[in-house]
Structure 1
Amino acid sequence: MDKESAIWTALEEVHDPEVGANIVDLGLVYGITLEENGLVRIRMTLTIPECPLADEIVKEVEEAAASVSGVSKVEVLLVWEPKWTPARMNDNAREEIRSHTTHL
């Protein structure tokens, strides 16, 4: 598996605690840029700009990406354009949210 694929896989372990699905399936990660020196830049958003758990999610993203071999530094860039909408979610996220809400 190449480094970028490994980072995407690692990010699937980071869940939005309020929604109950991982940030990749939710469509929160807009892109990953790899530099030759091991720096990884991750462009992402949150479901709402006022997310009270933003710092926690960003920290988990940094830790997940840093766990990949060859990554020396991680920068998470929170962006608000394009705005996140539920249309960005994939079917995995929709199913996870359905199962999460039916168990409440």
Structure 2
Amino acid sequence: MELEIYERLKEVRDPEIPLDIINLGLVYGIVVKDNIAYIDMTLTVQGCPAKSYFAQYIREYILKSFPELKDVVVNFVFEPAWNKDKISEEGKERLRSMGWNI
């Protein structure tokens, strides 16, 4: 089920960078235990104002997508810190095609 959740998270976009949270490299890990999904993720900056948005949106989105889950826990971690090297090659290509210098 972790892989299915990972794939579904490709549909969650960052509110500032026009890319999904998987290709941005924000998701560090997903574990499902006892029908609870634990998602470790980071943000592009530690004080990102989208933190509460991500926590609530991801929880609701994954619970709706996987009704067999009892809960979703989004855990924000900042080690290792995010940097542009965490963006996937696919993500870098998409950003370059939009004129981003990356």
TM-score (norm 2): 0.86
Given that residues 6 and 68 in structure 1 are in contact (C-alpha distance below 8 angstroms), is that contact kept between their aligned partners in structure 2?
no
Per-residue Cα deviation, 1:14-46 (whole angstroms, up to 9, x for no partner) = 1111011000111100001111x2111100000
Aligned match for 2:42, one of 30, 40, 45? 45
Per-residue Cα deviation, 1:65-86 (whole angstroms, up to 9, x for no partner) = 2122422200000011010111
What letter matches 1:53 in structure 2?
A
| Aligned pairs (5 A) from 1:1-104 | 3-35=1-33, 37-66=34-63, 67-101=65-99
CA distance in 1, matches of 2:57, 2:96: 24
The change in CA–CA distance for 1:59 and 1:97 in structure 2 (over 3 A counts) is farther
CA distance in 2, matches of 1:90, 1:6: 18
CA distance in 2, matches of 1:58, 1:49: 14
Identity across aligned pairs (percent)? 34
Per-residue Cα deviation, 1:41-73 (whole angstroms, up to 9, x for no partner) = 100000001111221122222123212242220
Given that residues 16 and 22 in structure 1 are in contact (C-alpha distance below 8 angstroms), is that contact kept between their aligned partners in structure 2?
yes
Q: Which runs of at least 4 in structure 1 moved beyond 3 Å after TM superposition? A: 99-102
What letter matches 1:52 in structure 2?
P
Greater shift in the superposed pair: 37-46 or 58-67: 58-67
Show structure 2 runs of 5+ residues with no match: none
Q: Secondary structure at the match of 1:77?
A: strand
